[in-house]
Structure 1
Amino acid sequence: MLNALTDNHGRIVNYLRLAVTDRCNLRCFYCMPEHGLNWLSRSELMSYEEMLRMCRVMAGMGIEKVRITGGEPFVRRGIMQFLTSLSKIKGINELTLTTNGVLTAPFVPQLKDIGIKSVNLSLDTLDANRFFAITRRDEFTNVMHTLEALLKHNINVKINAVVMDGRNTQDIAPLVELTKDLPVSVRFIEEMPFNGDSHQFNTLQWDYLRILEEIQLHYPSIQKIADPAYSTSYNYHVPGHQGNVGIIAAYSRTFCGSCNRIRVTPQGMLRTCLYDDGVLNIKDALRKGDSDDEIKMLLRDALGNKAKDGRQAELQRHDIHESMAEIGG
């Protein structure tokens, strides 16, 4: 691959997950405390101009796919203008985003117009009462309107559901049932320790194997299908269904060997692994006046010291009680 960016383990890195804000209009208990977080000030965030410059530099190094995350991207003012500019950067061939769907529905036609073909929609339950209990907000109807709008405009939808013991395991079968009549991919995600709180995340009750067993209990005919290159999910299909099912071993970390991604947090911190502490402050480099070539050198050095996997990265860090909103979902 021309201009391929590789890490010290020989893995090609061509995918950036960019968090544009730490703020969110939900308070999902597995992501942050009920009172929220100590939100970043505007000056602490990367500006859109800084993010666009960073993405142009990275595109010149082989980054081909960018996923916009948060927090919730649509709470940041001017997000559509930013996405429009980002979609025009040469070398970025795939632009996607992850959203909770609360504010997204009105923007769906514009997302389609700028070429966004796929959206990840966070939806942990199909029950309005459980939705409120999990998110601490009464926004279920708005999220379902977003799902309808995305499907109406033929945008591929991946529904992300975090599986939580005692909270939403009864939703596993109903979420799989969505794939019968809708062309969606429902992905069940192991719960992770990034809750923004100080309480200890002990043992995982629902790992990817137990999730699969629960699905097979209700859908014994479910079949394993091929996993795409660099896939973080094990993928399955129920015969006769339009959509597919995926299971992401986010805590078990069985997919690290094929990792092709890096993350940049809202304050511009490069993380070469979800579980590391952050290895390079790109925002500081930009504001210091570093040239594009100097930034490229910093990025290559950072990738040259990437942990082999999430377990190794976790051993090297100091704190694992951040919120996913601070890291970038």
Structure 2
Amino acid sequence: MSGRKIDYLRISLTDRCNLRCRYCMPHDIDSVPMSEILTYEEIREITRAAAQEGIRHVRVTGGEPLVRKGCPDCVRMLKAIPGIETVMLTTNGIWLRKFLPDLLEAGLDGVNISLDTLQREKYREITGYDGLEEVLKAVEACVSAGIRTKINVAAAREINETEILDLVRLSEKWPVDVRFIEMMPIGYGKEYHGLDNRRVLEMIKNRYPDLQEAAPAAGAGFGPAVYMQIPGFLGRTGLISPIHGKFCQSCNRLRLTSTGKLKYCLCYDDAEDLRSVIRSGETPEEKQERIRKIFRAAGQRKPAGHRFEEPDQISEKKRMNEIGG
């Protein structure tokens, strides 16, 4: 790929989810018809072309990827593509224990589990489901299985400002990375007051003044998180700060939506329609070349930076479950 190095592809398997998180998809909304969703074979062919143009790391997302039948088979399919080095999964954790053996057998390299609160009633209020205990059991199962595990926390004043330290302490109990992610003003997320990660860091430092920059860990990841270590803790604390610590110049990722749109940046609605290519009447070789050409140009197509700080410049109107988390 020319221009910026792009080696990370996030692939959304579905816009559907078994939770109703208020900042993502809180209402009963119409799901995309399955006929409009990429098949696993189409995802494989797109990823195969992407790998030939430098994509090395894939993250499977949703919606909730585990609600789509055959998710472990998709992981296995992606792992078999020449050039793909790692395949990871982002999940809400509700069905993770059920599918973990199959995911491990398929070769999954790592899992990120979304968890915004440790209070049972608040979890139910945020997600519409009494599932906190199951998610914590899923974290424990992943740790016991030895798979690289991260906990993603969407940091917002209305949700968890008073729980930051409690969430940090999960990395004392388990060898997991707890990452605080600034909420971006996309979809229903616009209705929340995202926490500035500078404030999050201040709270952590006030409680743990011996906090120090963490040395890179094996299999640490390929994204923008800045990691810190609290002495004596088994895991690390991470900050992902797209708003107050813009990392656009080093952003190495693209997003493939469940309907086949290749997105360059969350801020803008600019996207390439790969579904129309993969479903065209061209030969397999012609399709591969067209898709490769799109990925080849991706480094040049990615914008220099987002403009989330300027609401009138945000052209993306879709919800996060439609784009892919």
TM-score (norm 2): 0.91
Structure 1's consecutive aligned runs of 4 or more residues displaced over 3 angstroms after TM superposition are: 226-231, 312-321
- Mark the runs of 5 or more structure 2 residues left unpaired by the alignment: none
Q: For residues 207 and 315 of structure 1, do their structure 2 counterparts lie closer, same or farther at Cα, with a shift above 3 Å needed? A: closer
Unmatched segments (≥5 aa) in structure 1:
none
Q: Which amino acid aligns with 2:170?
A: L
Residues 140 and 201 (structure 1), Cα distance of their counterparts in 2 relative to 1, 3 Å cut = closer
User: Residue in 1 aligned with 2:6?
Assistant: 13
Aligned partner of residue 180 in structure 2, secondary structure: strand
- Label 1:311 to 1:125 Cα distance change in 2 as closer, same or farther (>3 A): same
SS at match of 1:107: helix
For residues 113 and 313 of structure 1, the distance between their equivalents in structure 2, rounded to whole angstroms, comes to 43
1:270 aligns to what? 262
Q: How many residues align?
A: 318
* In 1, Cα distance between equivalents of 2:194 and 2:40: 40
Scaled by the length of structure 1, the TM-score of the pair is 0.90
Q: 2:124 corresponds to which letter in structure 1?
A: F
Match of 1:63 among 55, 78, 83: 55
Identity of aligned residues (%): 38
Residue pair 1:67, 1:96 contacting (<8 A) in 2 also: yes
Q: Which of 201, 208, 218 is residue 207 of structure 2 equivalent to?
A: 218
Match of 1:87 among 64, 79, 86: 79
Q: Which of 285, 297, 304 is the aligned partner of 2:293? A: 297
Alignment match, 2:150: 158
Give matches, 1:304-315, under 5 Å: 304-311=300-307
Q: What is the root-mean-square deviation in Å for CA atoms of aligned residues?
A: 2.2
Query: Of residues 206, 217, 239 in structure 1, which corresponds to 2:231?
Result: 239
List per-residue Cα deviations over 1:192-216 (Å, max 9, x = no partner).
222348xx558x5521101111111
Q: Give the deviation of 1:38 after TM superposition.
A: 2.2
CA contact (8 A) 2:5 2:299 kept: no
- In the alignment, which of 319, 322, 325 is matched to residue 326 of structure 1? 322
* Cα distance between partner residues in 1 of 2:221 and 2:176: 19
C-alpha distance in 2 between matches for 1:29 and 1:43: 27
Q: Do structure 1's residue 29 and structure 2's residue 22 form an aligned pair?
A: yes
AA aligned opposite 1:324: M
Per the TM alignment, residue 120 of structure 1 is displaced from its structure 2 partner at its CA by 0.4
- Whether the 8 Å contact between 2:268 and 2:315 is mirrored in structure 1 is no
Query: How far does residue 138 in structure 1 lie from its aligned partner after superposition?
Result: 1.2
Counterpart among 114, 126, 129 of residue 118 in structure 2: 126
Q: Which amino acid aligns with 2:93?
A: G
**SS in structure 2 of the partner of residue 13 of structure 1:** coil
Q: Measure how far apart 1:257 and its partner are.
A: 1.3
Give the drift of 1:153: 0.5
Q: Contact 1:196–1:322 at 8 Å: present in 2 too?
A: no
- Higher mean displacement: 117-126 or 271-280: 271-280
Distance 1:288 1:253, change over 3 A: farther
